[in-house]
Amino acid sequence: MNAHIIIQIVLFFGIGIALTPPLGRFLARVFMGERTFLHPVLLPVEKLVYKVTGVNPAEEMSWLRYLGAVFLMTFVGFASLMAILMMQKSLPFNPNGLDNLSWHLAFNTAWSFTCNADWQSYMGESTMSFFSQTVGLSVHQFISGAAGLAVLVAVARALKRASLKTIGNFWVDLTRSLIYIVIPLSVLFAIPLAWQGVPQTWQKNASATVVEPFTIQVAKTDDKGNPVTAPVTESKPKLDDKGQPVLGVDGKPVMMDVPKLDDKGQPVTQPVMVDQQVTEQDIPIGPVASFESCKQLFTNGGGFYGVNSAHPLENPTPVASFLEMLAIILVPMAQVYMFGIIIGNRKHAWCLFAVMLALYVGSFAFAWWAESQTNPVFADIHIGSSYQNLEGKETRFGVMNSVLWGTSATAIDNGSVNSMHDSWMPLAGLMPMWNILIGEMLFGGIGCGVYCMLFHVLITVFIAGLMIGRTPEYLGKKLGAWEATWAVIGVLLPNAACLIPTAMSMVSTAGLASLANQGPHGLSEVLYAFGEAANNNGSAFAGLNANVPWYDVLLGISIIIGRFAPIIAALAIVGNLAKKKTVEASAGTLPTHGWTFGLTLVGVIVIVAALTFFPALLLGPFLDHGLMLAGRTF
């Protein structure tokens, strides 16, 4: 272990923690309507938005109206994005002439980006036009992140209120989130990325002369550019006038080549292939820096390029790599502190922060250890002490940076990758999967990380209340059956949206046909895909061909459930709590801060996830690890 690795880890977590209070205070001031250093410039813009859209910033909404506004924005966004993707060939800013998307890929991608999941069943540089990448996908990276933050603000605001039926105005929260936070931070962050070499241009792809020309086979075309085809032949016995096979001198049928026919009796043709020497390479470029900044800061994770942040243009230098990793944790950490300010209980927020950080760092440490072990399959090969598991990784990142990025992007619900998790050692690959399956609340996604943690907090308070024989209370509000029911729904529905389609895929022909690996590793690929969809993470284990109707549709449905089930449950809980009176804390009130509550909360999180997913994880990564020890890989 080198000193520079330790320094980088300390700087990474240290800077993230140090920036949490100032950035958290700024977020809280924005949403509480207090003046910030940006207000002299942006307050007129905010007022103009209200005037143009007809929004009354003084009007408040019940939790049902607030939820309805979230639904309206998301469904309109889905319809418009799907239309863009299915018509991109006819839209502007398509210098590379890319075709329209299929209906199932457009369906999946539109739900993915409007729900802040950003799962990608395609290669961005060869599938999406500049118009689709920016006006389509990038716009929803901004809006979906801002919407999640708005919902968290409504949750915090409602928890602070008493004897009120309203929780705020979604359009006001969304506008403030976009104008003061999402857009300024994204613009600010795009500048150093462009400085480090991330492309930011609207020009068509560049071309470079290769060092060593090579030859490939391509389809031959005529003068008009149409493919030249030739009939496909097959060998069949020659028949005489009576339709009987003609026999040769050896007594065997005489064979002859005849045109092959399809089921309709039409000749089958195939393209004529010719040799072509390759002397130039196409270099995909575009408005990458602006796309990348929002992708990293606001837990989107969808890459401009197919290999995401492993691509040398999306992540070109060590400085860019560190900044992009740091961007993953900044806002998610700060939103916890913001939550504490708005609810008026910073001690509780720091307790949640400590629980999240402990589980996050623990997953990184375990994955780093597991990925640093020598593969036992190579035990008899003398490969020296410098051996590293580098399959599926960029050598410029190495093991530590690959593992730190992977565990960060799954703990934080970012979903970007700089290595292929499919190539990690089984126990190392278990940790990103575990971070996702426990509910994406180790700081988690923008907004959803905290209100998903709220479900486990309420369950913990209920269990503790039963243990001490008192009515459960949270932040001065008595908890009842309504809150308990919705907390359980908020936890179990995303879990069901993961496990049920995983089981369906493992017993269906369509599901199995897309697997690149068999056995437990194949199960891990499918479980990971539906786990990320149901928790809106967006990262891929890799090795699964998901761009088929079966997976595009099922993953899209899981994404919808994973986005809306927690939002509905969270708003239903706080909408009811806002109506209740605040009860003064007494000697018997359970403190929701300190080590006792924190450790109890950790226990609840681990036990709930283990009871839900242990059988699937046992058949996936654990069995994969056991068979690897026996010398068998998949």
In this model, does residue 535 exceed pLDDT 80? yes
Closest CA to 544 of 534, 557, 531, 535: 531
pLDDT band at 282 (very low <50, low <70, confident <90, very high): confident
User: How confident is the prediction for the chain on average, in pLDDT?
Assistant: 91
pLDDT band at 376 (very low <50, low <70, confident <90, very high): confident
In this model, does residue 17 exceed pLDDT 60? yes
Handedness of CA 517, 523, 527, 530 (dihedral sign): positive
In this model, does residue 439 exceed pLDDT 70? yes
- Contact predicate 164/579, CB 8 Å: yes
Q: Which has the minimum average pLDDT: 89-93, 231-235, 600-604?
A: 231-235
Model pLDDT, residue 186? 94
Residue 258, H or E segment: strand 255-259
- For 379-404, how does the pLDDT look when each residue is reduced to its tens digit (9 = 90+)? 666 665 556 788 889 999 999 999 99
Q: Which has the minimum average pLDDT: 187-191, 394-398, 565-569?
A: 394-398
- For 114-156, how does the pLDDT look when each residue is reduced to its tens digit (9 = 90+)? 999 989 999 888 899 999 999 999 999 999 999 999 999 999 9
d(Cα 537, Cα 446) in Å, to the nearest integer?
11
pLDDT band at 233 (very low <50, low <70, confident <90, very high): confident
More confident site: 240 or 145: 145
> Nearest 5 degrees, angle CA 244-CA 247-CA 249?
165
Other CB atoms closer than 10 Å to residue 34's CB: what's the count? 11
DSSP assignments along 6-67, one per residue: HHHHHHHHHHHHHTHHHHHHHHHHHHTT---TTHHHHHHHHHHHHHHHT--TT--B-HHHHH
Q: Which has the minimum average pLDDT: 162-171, 190-199, 221-230, 527-536?
A: 221-230
Model pLDDT, residue 466? 81
- Contact predicate 397/419, CB 8 Å: yes
- Contact predicate 536/116, CB 8 Å: yes
Other CB atoms closer than 10 Å to residue 237's CB: what's the count? 14
In this model, does residue 352 exceed pLDDT 90? yes
* Average pLDDT of span 626-634: 86
Model pLDDT, residue 607? 93
Closest CA to 171 of 146, 192, 188: 146
Model pLDDT, residue 605? 95
Model pLDDT, residue 386? 58
Model pLDDT, residue 13? 96
Model pLDDT, residue 263? 80
* Average pLDDT of span 280-308: 90
* Average pLDDT of span 332-348: 96
Model pLDDT, residue 239? 84
Q: Percent of the chain having pLDDT more than 90?
A: 69
Q: Which has the minimum average pLDDT: 319-328, 386-395, 538-547?
A: 386-395
Q: Which residues contact 371 (CB under 8 A, 6 or more apart)?
A: 389, 399, 402, 403, 424, 425, 428
DSSP state of 247: B
In this model, does residue 253 exceed pLDDT 90? no
Helix intervals (H) in 507-548: 509-512, 519-534
- Contact predicate 553/504, CB 8 Å: no
* Average pLDDT of span 450-457: 95
In this model, does residue 24 exceed pLDDT 70? yes
- For 360-373, how does the pLDDT look when each residue is reduced to its tens digit (9 = 90+)? 999 999 999 999 98
Model pLDDT, residue 1? 65
Other CB atoms closer than 10 Å to residue 45's CB: what's the count? 14
In this model, does residue 73 exceed pLDDT 90? yes
In this model, does residue 223 exceed pLDDT 90? no
Tokens of 46: 């905010």
More confident site: 632 or 337: 337
pLDDT band at 219 (very low <50, low <70, confident <90, very high): confident
In this model, does residue 579 exceed pLDDT 60? yes
d(Cα 621, Cα 616) in Å, to the nearest integer?
9
Closest CA to 606 of 332, 351, 359: 359
d(Cα 262, Cα 265) in Å, to the nearest integer?
5
Model pLDDT, residue 251? 80
Model pLDDT, residue 301? 84
Model pLDDT, residue 387? 67
* Average pLDDT of span 288-305: 90
Match 């492309």 to its residue by tokens. 199
